[in-house]
Structure 1
Amino acid sequence: MRAAGVNPADVMLRDGSLAEWYRDAEPPFVPGMDVAGTIDEIAGDVESVSGQSLSLGMEVVGIVGIVDNHGRHGGYSEYVVLPAESVTSTPAGTTFPQAASFLMNALTARYALDALGLWPGATLLVTGAAGAVGGYTVQFAASEGLRVIAVASEADGELLRSFGAEAVVPRGDGAAQHVLDLAPTGVDAVVDTAMLHERIAPAVCDDGQIAVFRFWDGSPGRGITVHPVNVRTRATDNVAITRLREQFESGVLTPRVAATLPAGQAAQAHRIVEEGCLRGRVVLTFQPATPESTG
């Protein structure tokens, strides 16, 4: 391991928000889903994955999703063991922190858009658009010919327009009405990274769609379909993972590292994430392994 992204889901694991999910598991729980580092060992039956050869010392990025669904082998570790399908080579020209900052967020955005299945020219609303998942959603959607309306603070307007957003509306209680001022019949779909739920549903057209994250048992009515998104179900989708790396290399996606801290300062990293208003990921860094450190 050389770097591990710190995601909101890691904070939820620590603060008890996921207690119901982990009710039958024994601690310890180790957070961390985004990882980057070098291959130290390869199982004997693994030669390549999706046509990509794997070799010792190869620099890779990966997502920790199914090795242990109860979190004992999370990314805040000096070593992690992953299915070969969960890794790809690091994007060319990136640092380890940059490599560890994008994969889970980009895969989450990709999953949400795949679930919606929109067509070029459709109108997509993205809440929390300046965040990591929201920003990648905007970039994907704009590159695929969608009309993107972003909900964010005024200060983030220039950034989101550079990502391809056609319009940026201010967040807050009036967000849905601001959207309807731009799209009077409602948008075709929402990627609701800010978890506005029933507060943003009025901005969706009849028979539209909402992609949601974490937990929401609401029913918006009017024929609107709600798509729960759980990125862990695609942790071994190597075709998608490799495609994300290629899009990162080509500039469709951009690196978004908000801060880097040594792994020993994980508690401080969590405090920064909890404070919110980040425009990228906090990343923990690890020193290269040495014979002395491994014994």
Structure 2
Amino acid sequence: MRAAVVRGFGGPEVVEVTETEVPEPSAGQVRIKVAAAALNPIDAGIRSGAFGGENQQLGLGWDVAGTVEATGDADGWNVGDQVVALDYGMAKPLGTHAEYVVLDAGSVAKAPATVDAVAAATLPLNALTAVQALDVLELTPGQSLLVTGAAGALGGFAVQLAAHRGIAVTGLARESDEELVRSLGATGFTTGGGGSYDAVLDAAVLGEAALPWIRDGGAYVGVIPQAEPASVRGVRTAAVLVRPDGARLAELVRLVDEGVLTLRVAETFALDDAAKAHARLAEGGLRGRLVLVP
């Protein structure tokens, strides 16, 4: 099968599509024939060496939508099931940017019924990160939340999920994104922060600069593990380490089918053009995910 990998660090040009054996599922695993797989900033970080892994092949891709093609005695899954999943891992030899991927059955959920595989592939990583970050914050209906980077894929999910919980959401983004952010459910909008909120979900990775916008004793959650700022004024600070969770992903799929969550695709690329997709990601300015199609 074909798979996008890196064997050395650098820019988009180091991404190569290689031929490798089709992986076989072990007990409790499923093999998914990939229909679509999103490209995320984490893939660019792996490609550039931000997370280590020198002198080894690193597979790219964390999100997948596709069809169960084989099972390793995995309860609850049958050949032909349409699924989505998160393939976690900074230093795995193969990722979801491939024709097939093998994953633990517990990380898999039935695909949304109301969208195609390309759109569905944008859900797992960013939506799971958003919902797990909100869980850390432990906000209750009526409390206030500032989401930085609210127009991005992660921030957009955070806005929608928080608003669905009855939280008063303000989005921080560029002025040109105000209409988009409000359409996602934000009741407030800012381009420069300020104010006083019960919590900040820092999808834009502002770090310490976001702390003055949190009330004394409030909460901050970042999206880069172990990179949260130190606590001040009793503000609880943490960072979410996203984890695969098929049951939670199934809840998010239900919210897609109910129209609560919006899936945004910026552009699609063939798997063989993975390096071009990385180059487009590096250009920035995307409002939605790039998606690779084998």
TM-score range, shorter chain: 0.7 to 0.9
Instruction: Tell me what 1:241 maps to.
Output: 249
**What SS is found at the alignment partner of 2:123?**
helix
Give the stretch that moved more between structures: 219-228 or 142-151: 219-228
Q: How does 1:1-295 map to 2 (within 5 A)?
A: 1-19=34-52, 22=53, 26-44=55-73, 46-48=74-76, 54-65=77-88, 70-170=91-191, 175-177=192-194, 180=195, 186-214=196-224, 216=227, 218-231=229-242, 234-235=243-244, 237-286=245-294
**What SS is found at the alignment partner of 2:59?**
coil
After TM superposition, what 4+ stretches of structure 1 lie above 3 angstroms from structure 2? Answer: none
Distance in 2 (CA, whole Å) between partners of 1:106 and 1:43 is 27
**One-letter code aligned to 1:62:** A
Aligned-pair CA distance for 1:16: 1.3
Aligned-pair CA distance for 1:277: 2.1
Distance in 2 (CA, whole Å) between partners of 1:194 and 1:275 is 17
Distance in 2 (CA, whole Å) between partners of 1:143 and 1:103 is 18
1:195-238 deviations in whole A, cap 9, x for unaligned?
1112111101111111112252531411111111111xx21x22
Higher helix share: 1
Q: Give me the identity figure in percent.
A: 40
8 Å CA contact 2:86, 2:107 repeated in 1: yes
Aligned-pair CA distance for 1:47: 2.5
Distance in 1 (CA, whole Å) between partners of 2:193 and 2:181 is 18
Distance in 1 (CA, whole Å) between partners of 2:218 and 2:279 is 37
Distance in 1 (CA, whole Å) between partners of 2:92 and 2:44 is 13
Aligned-residue Cα RMSD (Å) equals: 1.3
Distance in 2 (CA, whole Å) between partners of 1:143 and 1:57 is 32
**One-letter code aligned to 2:120:** A
Size of the aligned set, in residue pairs, is: 260
Higher strand share: 2
Is there any run of 5+ residues in structure 2 with no aligned partner, and where? 1-33
8 Å CA contact 2:221, 2:228 repeated in 1: no
TM-score (norm 1): 0.85
**One-letter code aligned to 1:239:** A
Distance in 2 (CA, whole Å) between partners of 1:84 and 1:17 is 29
Distance in 1 (CA, whole Å) between partners of 2:91 and 2:257 is 33
8 Å CA contact 2:146, 2:197 repeated in 1: yes
1:137-181 deviations in whole A, cap 9, x for unaligned?
0000111111111101111111111111011111xxxx233xx2x
**One-letter code aligned to 1:47:** D
Aligned-pair CA distance for 1:270: 1.1
8 Å CA contact 1:73, 1:81 repeated in 2: no
Distance in 1 (CA, whole Å) between partners of 2:282 and 2:128 is 22
Distance in 2 (CA, whole Å) between partners of 1:6 and 1:176 is 29
TM-score (norm 2): 0.85
